[in-house]
Structure 1
């Protein structure tokens, strides 16, 4: 938790001390790391560190939204369906899970145009399915235990039993799964931006930064390495947090 709060403080406060991430400087094109530019500059002379931090705020914010909204919707659907014995929700989740995120992103880009809405539609359309399936399975298991029978015997209704008794007992594995899904959603968001379906120039975003830096991979590898390492490191930390919570 401490590292999460520290990272959040950095992303919130660092832009105040860094150059404008979209400001160009044609006298410092593809400059290497220096005191003025700790991570160098890109093909337009923009500060890579500033773009990395600013892009991180957008990438992580979009990833958080793409995890939390589907997590809430999927958990509620799986919880209610599991208690009421409606297996159709689980089958619908299996059907939606078979759809590739990139394909949905392409369809969304055709209808909505490239940008944030297309990315959110792509990750949310599929992202609710693992939460729904897990909540459904956990709820079915809990619904057969004695404490549920006792609550039912005392006159508690289905919604009260599901919300007040079952939900707290399945919270821990769902929170652990949320951290694991954060890593996968981060890769999906970055991948869609890498393909040009997400944030459009000149707004910085980690996946888009990797895509922009490909043409200068050998002459200025820092353009690709900086955002790529940020994606891998963040995904690894989220996965480690999820595994620790799941123990």
Structure 2
């Protein structure tokens, strides 16, 4: 995992939870001058806050439809643990997985405060190395792929570990991302972009079956199944 992403998440993980609560994230720390950060958060940041609320709604809908008591659920890149808590409240056995120790510590605090009797394992792992992930029935990767530099390794690892996957990507061909890529000063988080063609080729290579794809924000959300473990065309989708 590149050092700049590790540093960003270690600095900002507690602040990211605020986005889901519709609190201004003007206190997010960018590697930019203070005046730029202020302007960004009062303009683009407002749009991002609305999109974070919608992403939260869709993810909760996905959990509602696919999590039952006793189901093993993995949050790949658990961040603040907001979806770890939600899955635990629905009775899941949860794997909270992240490359940032700060993220895991924040997740643990949130679980202890909001789901104290939950069955949660905290796993420090790089989603792009060759070490296997724990097996689960449902896995979630929201806001993770923009910080991964080798999408094929991630997809291979994720598909091997889970029956159903919900994954968000940032599309290089979206007009807003074209602007970001031509004006790097606007790409405040140094995002990674993956086209649907590149992702589809990786699914085919690693026995992934694409059930649904829907445009979201400046990218898209996929629901994918492991075709060797679980293959059918109708999996409930977070609309």
Higher relative contact order (CA 8 A, sep 6+): 1
TM-score w.r.t. structure 2 length? 0.24
- Larger helix fraction of residues: 1
Larger radius of gyration: 1
- Larger strand fraction of residues: 2
